[in-house]
Structure 1
Amino acid sequence: MLVGREPQLAELRKAARQPPAVVLIEGEAGVGKTRLIKEWLAEPELRGTAVLTGQCSPLREPLPFGPVIEALADAGRYLPESTPLSPVTGALRPLLPELADRLPPPLAPLGDRRQERHRVFRGLRDLLAGLGPAVLVLDDLHWLDSGTRELLRFLADRLPEHLRLVLSYRREDLADPDAPTIVLPAACSPLRLALTPLTVDQVAELVAAVDYPAPTGGFAEYLHAQTMGLPLAVEESLGLLRDRQRRATDPALVPLPDALTVPTALRDALLERSSRLSRSARRLLYAAAILTNPATEGTLCRVAGVTARHCPAALAELIGRGLLGPGPGDRYGFRHGLARQAVHDSLSEPTRRALHRRAVAALMNLDPRPLGQLAHHCRHAGLHTEWQHYAEAAADQAIDLGDDETAAQLLQEVVARADLDLDARVRIALKLGQAALTGLNHSEAITILRHTLAEADLPTAARGELRLYLGVLLRNQVRQTEAGRAELEQAVDELSHRPELAARAMASLGAPYLTDRQQLPDHLRWLARAGETAAHASDSDVTAVVVANRAAALISTGDPAGWRLLDAEAQPLLYVNGAWAAVCVGRYADAHMLLDAAGRLVTDSPGSYLGCALTGTALMHDLATGQWEGLSARARQVAAENADVPAVAAEARLVLGSLAMATGDLRAARDHLGQCAGSIPVAVAGHGGLARLATVEGDWRRGYHQISRGLALVRDKGAWCWAAELLPIAVTVVARAGNGHRAAEKLLAEVAEGLAGRETPLADVALLAGRALAAEAAGELATAAQQHAEAARGYDALPRPYAAALAYEAQGRCLVALGADGDAPLAEAVRRFESLRASWDLGRCRQLLRSLGGRLPHRRGRRGYGGQLSPREEEVVRLVRSGLTNREVAEALFLSPRTVEAHVARVLRKLGLPSRRTLTESGPDADG
C-alpha cells in the first residue's frame, strides 16, 4: 500500500492523461521515489503503454547515453510491426544490437563527431516516437553523465507526442545541491514533485497497512522519531521487530529497542536478516554490494565464488527475502541504495579488497570490458598499476565519445597520485588539460596542470602544451586574464616546433575582450601571427579556432573584414563567436541568423562550454531586441547553472539587472549589475546600468565613479565601439557631475574619433543619443529634441525597442521644456514601455504625460482578469516579495501608496492569503 503520496500520485495521473510530459521527482534516499513510480505505472490508464526504465550509476562507463540505451534495449517488444521507423534510427544500430532486426539499414559516416552525435540524438527521439504511447523512466539522476544530460535536454525540447519522461534524483547527492539536476529548456515546464518523509499519522497508517501487531501507546511516534519518517526505514525496522517477536517465547514481552535510528535501523535489520541466509546467498549479497551496479547472475557468481550449481537457489533466496531484485537486461541488484550501503559498510576491509579483486577478474572476461568499473575495482583492490591503465583507457574512450566530463574526472583521480613516474604524469596531465578545455569542471584541472608544470625535468614541448591548456583555462574559464596571458606567451616560445599548438596559444592571446593590459592593435597582431602559423599546421580544428577568434575580434570592433571570415566552412565555434560579436555591435538580424546556425550545430552539447556561451549570447540578443517574455526566468536559470563560467554568468546577470531596473526592482538591479565582471562589453554595460541606478537615487558622485570605471576599460583596450551601452548615461553624468556640457562634448569627440572608419551601428546610434543629451544639458532644446527623434529612429532600425522608448521620452521631455507639444513622442514612449512591461519607466512616462494633460494611448477597453492577477498586480506582488514596503513599491511604480495598498488587498483576496506577510512567503513569482 502506498501511504502519504496521494497528491503526488494524482499529479502523475494527470501527467499520464496529458502527454507529452516531463516529470522530475526529488527526494532523499529511502523516501519512496521508486515505489511511487511503480504504483503509478500499475495504473489502469497506462495499460498497453510501453514502459522503459534505465538507471544512472555512480560508476560511469565511457559509453554514450548509457541509461537511455539500457532502457531502450527492451523496446523491441513495443514497436508496432506495421509502422516503419525513421531512416535516421539506423544510426542506433551500433548502440542497440538488440533491435538490429527492427532498425533501418546503417547510415553512412558523416566524418564529424558532433554531427554524428546529433544524428544519434535524432535517432533516439524518432525511436521513442515510434513506440507510440510510452513512459521513459530514468532513476538516480544525481549520477547523470554529461552525454545523457545533453541527450535529455535535446529530448525535453522535442518531446515525442505520446512520451512521458520521468526523472528521479536525490538533491543531497548532487555535486551542487543548490543547482538544478538537469538543465532543461525553459519552454519545457516540467512537473516537479518533491517527496518528504512521512508524518506520524502516515507512519501509523503504514504500520496498519503491513498488518504489524504494534504495541499500543505511542508506537507510531516512537517509530517516526527513530526512522525520521523514511518509508524504507520504517518497513525495514518493522521487519526487524517482527523477527525479534517471532523468535521470542512471549512476543508481548519483547521490549522496543532504546535506539533504532537511520541508518542503524536499516543496518540492524539487513544484517540480522542476512545472518540467517544460506552461505551461498550471503556471499552473493556481499558480491552485489561490492559491484555497486546491477550485475548478471554469472558475474555475481564469479565475484562471490559461488558455483553455478548453487547460484540459482541462492539468488532466488535473496529475491524472496526482498534483499535483491531483478532489473533490466537480466541483471540483479539491491532494491535500494541504502540497503547496498549498509551491507557494504558491514564488510571488513580485507573482505572488500578480496571481493574487488574477484570483481576485476570477472569483469575482464566481459566483451566489451567495462573500463570505468574495472578502474574502480582495481583502485579499491590495491592494484594501482592496473587502476592507472584502466582509468586512462576509460578516459581515452570517453574523449573519443565526446564525454569530456567523465574523462576529466577519471584523469584527475589518477594524476593526483604521487607515485606515478614523470612520463605518466605528463601524459595524463596533457589529456586532462585537453578535456578540460571543452568541459566545465576546470578548477581541479588547473591545480593539477600547475603542479605538473612545477616539475624541473619536463620536456620543452610538453611544458609548452601544458602552458597552453593552463593559459586558456585561466583566461576563458576563471578570468585570471593576466596570469593566463603570461602562461600563453611562454607557451608560444616553447611550442615553436609545434605550429598547430602555437597557433592555438596565439589565437587565445588575440581575444581582445578581456582585461589584460593589451590594446586592440596588440591583439590583432597576435591574431595575424596565429593565422600565419596555422597555415603551416595540418590540423583543421586549429584553423577553425584561429578563424573563429579572428572573426569575433574583427566583427566586435567594427572591422568589416571579420564578416568575410564567416564564409569559411560551417563551424560551431565560428558561429557562436560571430553571433556574440554581432550582438556587441548591434547587428541583431545577423546575430539572429548566426544563433540559429550555431544552435543547429551545438545541439549535441548544450552543457559544454560552447553550449553555455551560446546560451549567454542568446540572452543578450533577446534583451537588446525586446524579446522579454520569459527572459528573466531564463536568465535566472542560466546564472544559477553557470556560476563556474564567469563570462556566461555575467551576461545572465546583466540581463537580470537590466530587467529589474526596467520594472523598478532597484535592489535586485543593484545586486545583479554588480556581478557583471565578464567580458569588457558586458562589464562596461554593467557600469552603465549602475551609473543610471545611482542617478535615479540622486547619488551623482557614485554615478560618476561607475562611468569612470567603464570608460577606463574602453580606453585601456582602445575599442570605443564597446562604449555604446555606457555612452548615453555617461554624457548625462559627465555633464552633471563632471565639468559641465563641455566635458560631455569632449567625451563625445573622443568616442567619435575612436569609431571613425568602423562599422558599429549600435555605437553610431548611441553617439547620436549622446549628442542629443549633451545638447539638452547645454540648454539647446530644439536641437536636442530633433537629435532624440533621430536616435529613436536609429534604435528602432536596429532594433533596440527599450532604448528607442527612452529616446522618444527624451524627445517629448525636450519639447515640453520648449513649450511645444510633446504628447506624441511621450505617448509613443508609453506604448513602447507598456509592450515591454517596463513598469518603472512606464509609470514615470505616464506621470509626465498626465501632468501635461495629454491622452494615454487607447487600449481598446479594459480587460477583466477575474480571479487571476492583472499585470499591474503581478508587478506589485514581485516588488513586495523582493522586500519593498508599500511606499517603496509606490515610488518604483509611480503610484500613490493608497493605490498600492488597494492592489495588495486585491491580491490577498484573489490568492486567499490572510496577510501581507504570507504574500511575501508564498505569493507567486510574477517576474517574467
Structure 2
Amino acid sequence: ATRMYTRAVEEDPRAGGRVRTAAKLARTAQLARAGEPVVEAVRRVLDEDDPPPRLRGEIRLHLSVVLRNQSGGALDSLNEVALAIPDLEVSDPQTAARAMVVAAIPSIKGWPITRHQAWLERAEAFADRVTDPVARAAIAANRATALMLLGDTRAWAAADALRGPARSAMEAAHFARGWTNLAHAAVALGYADRARSYLDRAAAGLADSSSPYVEGLGETARLVIDWHAGRWEGLHEDADATARHYREIPDLTAEATLVRGLTALHVLGDVPRARRDLAEAAGTTRYDTGVILTASAAALARVHLEADRPGQAAEAVDDVLRKLERTGGWVWGGEIVPTAVEALGAAGQTGRAHRLVADFAAGTEDRDAPAARAALTAARALLAEAEGRCAEAGELLAEAERQWRRLSRPFDAARAAEARGRCLLGGAREEAVDTLHRVVGLYQALGARWDVARCHRLLRRHDVVTTHRRGRLGYGDRLSPREQEVARLVAQGRANRDIAESLVLSPRTVEHHVASIMRKLNVASRTAITGVRAGAGE
C-alpha cells in the first residue's frame, strides 16, 4: 500500500489529490516499512501543496510517527508533531490529543523529559473530547508507553486499559503496538515477566492481521529479554537474522545489532566484530528510548577498561552521559551508570563520578524502576572501590548481586559478584578466590567466554592457578586448548592485537602461542594455519 500511495502522490497532477493521497500514505506508513521515498513524498506535499490546516496537522502527526520509528530521528519527529498540534487543536481536537501523546513519548535523543510530561498532561485534559474508537486506542497505547518509559507508577493501570476488545483491525494494530512498546519499556525497567506477558498479548492481537513494524518490535523485544535473562544460546544468530530482515527500519535494525554486538563480545569473544556492531547500533538508532546508546557505550567502555585504557573508557561514555544530563532521563541510566562510574574512577575523574551517582540517585528516586535501583547500588559500590573503601564496596556489591538475581538478570549479577571478588583480593584472599571461582562458573553457564577469560586473567595476576596445567609436554605435538582458540582466530585473519583483546591476553602471550602453533603444525606462515580447530588439536 505504501508503494502504491507513494507512486500516486508522485504522479497525480492535482494538488488536492496529492494532499488527500499524502494523508493516506502517511497514515499507512507508520505501520509498515517506510523508507526515504515515503518521507520525501509527504514532505513535498507539505511544502508545495499548502494543505488545509486539518489535513496538514494530520499529515504532520503521521509523518512524525514514521520519522520516530523508521527513517528520521527523535528531534525531527518531535519537532514535526509540535508543528502539527496548533493546526489540530483548532480543527480536530481528537487528533490534537493523539498528537500530544505522541509528543509525550520520551527519547534520550529528544527533549528534556519535563517537556514530554507537559505534553502528556495537556493530552489528558483533552481525553474527554475523544470519541473515535481508533483514536482512543492510539491515545491509550501512546499514553501507556510514555508513562512506562518514564517509570511512572500510573503506567500499570494505563497498560491494563489496553485490554478492551478491539472492534476493528486498526484498533487491534494500535493495541498490539502498545503492548510491544510496553514490553520494551518494562524489560528496561526490570520487569521481564511483565514484558513477556505484553508480548504474548501483542501476538494474540495480531493473530488475524499483519503489521511488519509491530511484528519486528516484538522480535527485537524478545532479543533484549533473552539477553538480560541469560538465554544466550543461539542468540547471536537470532540477532543477526533479525538485523538483516529489518534492515529497512533503523530502530529495529539498531536494537538487533546491539544484541548481536553484545553477544559477539561476551559470547564469541570477538572484540573487533563487537566494536563494529556496537558502533553501528549507536549510529543507526533514530528514536532511542534509552537502551541502545546506553548499552552500546557501556560495552565499548568495558572493552577499553579490560585493555587498560581508562581514558578511552571515560570518553566512550561521555556523550551518552551528557544526553542523560540534558534530558533528565536518568531512569534509562541503568545500562551505563555503573560502567561509567568504573571508567571515571579508573581515569582519575572521581569528582565527576560522585556527581554522576548523585544525579542518578536523584533522577530515579521516585521512579518505578527496579533495574535502575540495582544499578545505583552497583554504581555506589564501584565508586567506593575507586576510593579505596573496599569493605563498603564489598557489602554494596553483595546487595547489588542479590538485587540483580531478584530481577532474573544473571549476567548483571555475575558482574557484581566479580567486582566483589576483585575488591576482596586486597584483603580476604581466600574468600576472594572462592568468589571468583564461583563467578567463573556463572559465566561458563551463560556461555560468556570473554568474561571467563577476564576472570582467569585476574586470578593469574594474583598468582592463583585456575586450572590444572599439564604443560607443553603433556600435549606433545597437539595444540593445547588455548592454542586451539588462538589458531581459530588466526585462521580468521585476525591480528595478534585483536586476538589478545578477544582472549584477554597480552600481545606478547599471543605471539608465543602463534609461534608454538606454527612449530607444532610444521608451517612457516600464519596463512597456513587453517582447519586447526576442527582437527589439528584433537
Q: Distance in 2 between matches of 1:582 and 1:624?
A: 12
| TM-score (normalised: structure 2) | 0.85
| Corresponding residue SS for 1:750 | helix
What is the Cα-based RMSD across aligned positions, in Å?
3.1
1:544–1:573 Cα contact (<8 Å) kept: no
Change (3 A) 1:790 1:878: farther
Change (3 A) 1:547 1:923: farther
Could you tell me which residue of structure 2 aligns to residue 421 of structure 1? 14
Q: Distance in 2 between matches of 1:567 and 1:840?
A: 41
Cα drift, residue 439 of structure 1:
0.9
Cα drift, residue 847 of structure 1:
3.4
Q: Distance in 1 between matches of 2:75 and 2:461?
A: 54
- Structure having the higher helix fraction is 2
**What are the equivalent positions in structure 2 for 1:405-804 lying under 5 Å apart?**
407-417=1-11, 420-496=13-89, 497-516=91-110, 518-570=111-163, 571-603=175-207, 608-662=212-266, 663-677=268-282, 678=285, 679-681=288-290, 682-740=292-350, 742-804=351-413
**What are the equivalent positions in structure 2 for 1:29-428 lying under 5 Å apart?**
407-417=1-11, 420-428=13-21
2:101–2:123 Cα contact (<8 Å) kept: yes
Aligned length: 501
**1:732 maps to amino acid:** E
**1:553 maps to amino acid:** A
Q: Distance in 2 between matches of 1:433 and 1:521?
A: 28
2:9–2:21 Cα contact (<8 Å) kept: yes
1:687–1:707 Cα contact (<8 Å) kept: yes
| Corresponding residue SS for 2:129 | coil
Q: Distance in 2 between matches of 1:638 and 1:923?
A: 29
Cα drift, residue 415 of structure 1:
1.8
Could you tell me which residue of structure 1 aligns to residue 415 of structure 2? 806
Q: Distance in 1 between matches of 2:204 and 2:493?
A: 42
**2:217 maps to amino acid:** A
Change (3 A) 1:567 1:872: farther
Structure 1 spans left out of the alignment, 5+ residues:
1-406, 859-868
Q: Distance in 2 between matches of 1:748 and 1:900?
A: 44
1:827–1:855 Cα contact (<8 Å) kept: no
| TM-score (normalised: structure 1) | 0.50
Cα drift, residue 711 of structure 1:
1.0
Q: Distance in 1 between matches of 2:346 and 2:187?
A: 30
Could you tell me which residue of structure 2 aligns to residue 242 of structure 1? none
**1:803 maps to amino acid:** D
| Corresponding residue SS for 1:495 | helix
The structure whose RCO (Cα within 8 Å, separation 6+) is larger is 2
Aligned: 1:840 with 2:445: no
| Corresponding residue SS for 1:643 | coil
1:527–1:546 Cα contact (<8 Å) kept: no
1:691–1:703 Cα contact (<8 Å) kept: yes
Q: Distance in 2 between matches of 1:499 and 1:598?
A: 28
1:468-523 deviations in whole A, cap 9, x for unaligned? Answer: 2222222221233323222212211112222332222212111102523x211211
Structure possessing the higher radius of gyration over alpha carbons = 1
| Corresponding residue SS for 2:11 | coil
Cα drift, residue 838 of structure 1:
1.3
**2:342 maps to amino acid:** T
Q: Distance in 1 between matches of 2:407 and 2:365?
A: 19
Q: Distance in 1 between matches of 2:307 and 2:466?
A: 27
Q: Distance in 2 between matches of 1:871 and 1:638?
A: 33
2:484–2:533 Cα contact (<8 Å) kept: no
Q: Distance in 2 between matches of 1:904 and 1:654?
A: 36
Could you tell me which residue of structure 2 aligns to residue 827 of structure 1? 437
1:499–1:534 Cα contact (<8 Å) kept: no
Cα drift, residue 660 of structure 1:
2.1
| Corresponding residue SS for 2:425 | helix
Change (3 A) 1:893 1:462: same
Cα drift, residue 572 of structure 1:
1.1
Cα drift, residue 725 of structure 1:
0.9
Q: Distance in 1 between matches of 2:152 and 2:455?
A: 38
Change (3 A) 1:903 1:434: farther
Cα drift, residue 436 of structure 1:
1.0
| Corresponding residue SS for 1:558 | coil
Q: Distance in 1 between matches of 2:138 and 2:516?
A: 59
- Structure having the higher strand fraction is 1
Structure 2 spans left out of the alignment, 5+ residues:
164-174, 469-478
1:809–1:829 Cα contact (<8 Å) kept: yes
Cα drift, residue 852 of structure 1:
5.2
Change (3 A) 1:629 1:877: farther
Cα drift, residue 560 of structure 1:
1.3
| Corresponding residue SS for 2:280 | coil
**1:636 maps to amino acid:** D
Change (3 A) 1:694 1:603: farther
Cα drift, residue 606 of structure 1:
6.6
Change (3 A) 1:887 1:706: closer
Change (3 A) 1:440 1:888: closer
**1:718 maps to amino acid:** G
**What are the equivalent positions in structure 2 for 1:840-879 lying under 5 Å apart?**
840-849=450-459, 879=489
Q: Distance in 2 between matches of 1:442 and 1:736?
A: 43
Q: Distance in 1 between matches of 2:524 and 2:21?
A: 62
Cα drift, residue 738 of structure 1:
4.6
